[in-house]
């Protein structure tokens, strides 16, 4: 399963820096960068904090994509 996020989009809409978001969530700026670049999947607790920060549901922030499987 692939997970994409809308963190960068939502952050830019709100004119929030990576540093400001990191401080509000109690994580490092590097964590925000990794989340935005798809190199890190948030824990459920962090996903919840991010969604609450943006007043969204987890599903509105994190987009889950099923990988297609080839049946033979």
16-43 pLDDT, tens digit per residue, is: 999 999 999 999 999 999 999 999 999 9
Question: Going from the N-terminus, what domains does the chain have, and what CATH number goes with each?
Answer: 3-64 (1.10.260.40)
Q: What is the model's pLDDT at position 66?
A: 78
Q: What is the pLDDT of residue 65?
A: 79
* Least confident residue range of 1-5, 11-15, 39-43: 1-5
pTM reported for the whole predicted model: 0.85
- The pLDDT of residue 3 is 84
Long-range (24+ apart) CB contacts under 8 A made by 54-62 are: 54/10, 54/14, 56/10, 60/6, 61/5, 61/6, 61/7, 61/10, 62/3, 62/4, 62/5, 62/6
């Amino acid at each position: 399963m692939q997970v994409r996020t809308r963190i960068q989009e939502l952050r830019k809409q709100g004119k929030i820096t990576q540093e400001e978001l990191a401080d509000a969530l109690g994580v490092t700026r590097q964590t925000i960068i990794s989340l935005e670049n798809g190199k890190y999947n948030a824990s459920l607790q962090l996903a919840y904090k991010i969604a609450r920060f943006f007043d969204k549901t987890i599903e509105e922030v994190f987009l889950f994509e099923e990988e297609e499987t080839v049946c033979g």
